[in-house]
Amino acid sequence: MGASFDGVVLNLPGKPKTLYVDGKSAESVSLRESIVALLDLADESLECSALVIALERSSPNLGVLLHSLMYVGGTVVTNPVFQVDPAFVLVGLEI
């Protein structure tokens, strides 16, 4: 069964073009295949140089998701280009 993610491309002057996606579907999908598909979409179709996934801090699986994303090269975004709701944590992956 395929996964569905909501997202937006942010292209600000002087900043890398980035695909931001809502990670609420991340708990119910095969994370590895979904990340590969999102990276391919961001790189090949949208010509982005980064992918950022927004995860809810209240998620019971946040620790597992963060660990999995960091295992594949993700890092917590500590200086986002805009103010982030404290209910979310952003995890970025360079393409």
Q: Alpha-carbon Rg of the chain, whole angstroms?
A: 13
Within a domain: 93:
no
Within a domain: 88:
no
Mean pLDDT, residues 16-37 taken together: 82
Name the token pair of 29. 């999908």
Instruction: Kindly state the DSSP code that residue 84 receives in the 8-state scheme.
Output: -
Within a domain: 87:
no
Tell me the CA distances in angstroms from 31 to 16, 64, 82, one per residue in order: 24, 11, 26
- What pLDDT shows up at residue 28? 58
Residue 55 has pLDDT above 90, yes or no: yes
Of 19, 23, 18, 12, the residue nearest 3 (C-alpha) = 23
- H or E element in which residue 10 lies: strand 7-10
Q: For the segment 63-85, what is each residue's pLDDT rounded down to a tens digit?
A: 988 998 999 899 999 999 899 99
Within a domain: 36:
yes
Report the domain count for the chain: 1
Residue 1 has pLDDT above 50, yes or no: no
The domain in which residue 62 lies consists of 7-82
